[in-house]
């Protein structure tokens, strides 16, 4: 066993589909090829959109496909205290601040169409509330944002995509850590959980690569280690658009686990397999070593 620790972090807003299956298989193969551990984390931080039934269904679908977490899954719904502690810490240091801008105000300022936004994209926020709320505000529930105005552009290296850079202040602005409805943001939760679980390597779909700079910014503010990142190609639908739960991607058929895995393997450039599930997975670990490990880059 090496020090490698990877994870698969599904949000239980729907069953496993071809896109999430690919992230599950790629992260599992990378962990096995490194002789490391593979953990599953249930990202149910947004309780309105997630359900425990769907989480259990996903865990069952993973088991059906021969992918089992090496430790009991971590559930974000049980982590509020840790999230609040870190938020308090950032607030005490003047790095996080309350914001009373409504979604409607922000959307109007952007002429935004939420349907066209990528996963976890935010409306650029230039810091309207950064230097204090406007007088007379009596709103009880406020969002919390992190200041990005003093941050230099974030540079990082992706094992597949190579050198990356994002000026978070300009491209995203002060992003949300906690929403006005009390829900902690994906960015805050994922950073704290990756650190708490000792994750050394994040392997996930390329549609999330745009979130990485925000996560590194938070890791630096919270003095947490930065894992290595590998963003995989995406499963595309017939229209060449990314498959997602939002555009009706079908749940995988876990009575045919090998078919679901083969579909993911194809996108990852791995040869098709037939026969026993365990043998297929083993062959893919070997193929992953040859094909994907040469891309391995230590973090800068
Ligand atoms: N739960 C996140 C999502 O489904 C993915 C988290 C991650 O892999 O960083 O969008």
Report whether 279 contacts 273 (CB < 8 A).
Answer: yes
- Which of 51-55, 169-173, 291-295 has the lowest average pLDDT? 291-295
Q: Which atom of ligand 1 is nearest to the CA of 205?
A: 8
* Mean pLDDT of all residues belonging to the chain: 90
> Rounded to whole angstroms, what are the CA distances from 173 to 91, 129, 149, 290?
17, 12, 8, 40
β pairing state of 201-205 and 228-232: parallel
Residue 300 pLDDT class (50, 70, 90 cuts): very low
pLDDT for residue 102 is more than 90? no
Out of 17, 204, 206, 230, give the residue to mutate to test ligand 1, the one with the largest number of ligand atoms within 8 Å of its CB. 204
What three-state secondary structure class fits 133? Answer: coil
Residue 250 pLDDT class (50, 70, 90 cuts): confident
Smallest CA-to-CA distance from 78 within 103, 55, 57 is with: 55
The two structure tokens encoding residue 37: 């551990």
The ligand 1 site (C-beta within 6 Å) comprises 9-11, 43, 119, 190, 204, 208
Residue 211 pLDDT class (50, 70, 90 cuts): very high
Q: From the CA of 229, how far away is ligand 1's center (Å)?
A: 13
Domain boundaries, the chain: 1-78+235-300, 79-232
Residue 64 pLDDT class (50, 70, 90 cuts): very high
DSSP character string of 142-160: -EEEE--TTPPPEEEEETT
Average pLDDT over residues 32-59: 96
Most confident of 15-19, 116-120, 234-238: 15-19
The two structure tokens encoding residue 140: 């009880």
Sign of the dihedral through C-alpha 287, 208, 69, 196: positive
Q: Which residue is closest in CA terms to ligand 1's atom 7?
A: 9
Q: From the CA of 138, how far away is ligand 1's center (Å)?
A: 35
pLDDT tens-digit readout, 12-25: 999 999 999 999 99
Q: Which atom of ligand 1 is nearest to the CA of 13?
A: 4
Report whether 261 contacts 282 (CB < 8 A).
Answer: no
- Which of 108-122, 186-200, 261-275 has the lowest average pLDDT? 108-122
pLDDT for residue 168 is more than 60? yes
pLDDT computed for residue 69 by the predictor: 98
User: How far is the C-alpha of 243 from the C-alpha of 122, rounded, in Å?
Assistant: 20
Same fold, 1-78+235-300 and 79-232: yes
Residue 75 pLDDT class (50, 70, 90 cuts): very high
Q: Which atom of ligand 1 is nearest to the CA of 190?
A: 9
- The one-character DSSP state at 99 is E
User: How far is the C-alpha of 272 from the C-alpha of 285, rounded, in Å?
Assistant: 13
pLDDT computed for residue 226 by the predictor: 98
pLDDT computed for residue 104 by the predictor: 78
User: How far is the C-alpha of 35 from the C-alpha of 185, rounded, in Å?
Assistant: 32
Q: Which residue is closest in CA terms to ligand 1's atom 6?
A: 9
User: How far is the C-alpha of 241 from the C-alpha of 252, rounded, in Å?
Assistant: 18
Q: Which atom of ligand 1 is nearest to the CA of 23?
A: 8
Report whether 108 contacts 122 (CB < 8 A).
Answer: no
What three-state secondary structure class fits 214? Answer: helix
pLDDT for residue 151 is more than 80? yes
Class of 1-78+235-300 in CATH? alpha beta
Report whether 155 contacts 300 (CB < 8 A).
Answer: yes
DSSP character string of 172-200: TBS-EEE-TTSPBPHHHHHHHHHHHTT--
CATH superfamily name and code, 79-232:
HUPs (3.40.50.620)
Say what percent of the chain tops pLDDT 90. Answer: 74
How many other β-carbons are positioned within 10 Å of the β-carbon of residue 267? 18
């Amino acid at each position: 066993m090496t020090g490698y620790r990877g994870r698969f972090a599904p949000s239980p807003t729907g069953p496993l589909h071809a896109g999430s299956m690919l992230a599950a298989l790629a992260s599992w193969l990378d962990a096995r090829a490194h002789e490391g551990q593979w953990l599953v984390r249930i990202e149910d931080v947004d309780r309105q959109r997630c359900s425990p039934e769907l989480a259990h269904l996903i865990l069952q679908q993973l088991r059906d496909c021969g992918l089992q977490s090496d430790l009991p899954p971590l559930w974000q719904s049980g982590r509020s205290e840790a999230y609040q502690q870190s938020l308090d810490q950032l607030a005490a240091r003047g790095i996080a601040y309350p914001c009373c801008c409504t979604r409607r105000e922000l959307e109007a300022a952007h002429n935004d169409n939420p349907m066209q936004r990528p996963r976890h994209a935010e409306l650029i926020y230039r810091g309207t509330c950064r230097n204090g709320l406007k007088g007379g505000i009596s709103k009880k529930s406020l969002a919390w944002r992190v200041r990005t105005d003093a941050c230099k552009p974030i540079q990082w290296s992706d094992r597949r995509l190579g050198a990356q850079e994002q000026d978070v202040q300009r491209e995203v602005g002060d992003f949300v850590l906690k929403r006005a409805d009390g829900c902690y943001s994906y960015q805050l939760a994922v950073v704290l959980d990756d650190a708490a679980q000792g994750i050394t390597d994040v392997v996930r779909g390329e549609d999330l690569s745009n979130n990485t700079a925000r996560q590194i910014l938070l890791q630096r503010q919270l003095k947490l280690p930065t894992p290595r990142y590998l963003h995989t190609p995406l499963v595309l639908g017939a229209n060449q658009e990314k498959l997602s739960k939002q555009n009706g991607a079908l749940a995988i058929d876990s009575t045919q686990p090998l078919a679901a895995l083969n579909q993911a393997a194809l996108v990852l450039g791995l040869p098709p397999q037939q026969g026993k599930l365990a043998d297929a997975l083993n062959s893919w670990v070997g193929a992953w070593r040859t094909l994907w490990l040469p891309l391995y880059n230590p973090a800068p």
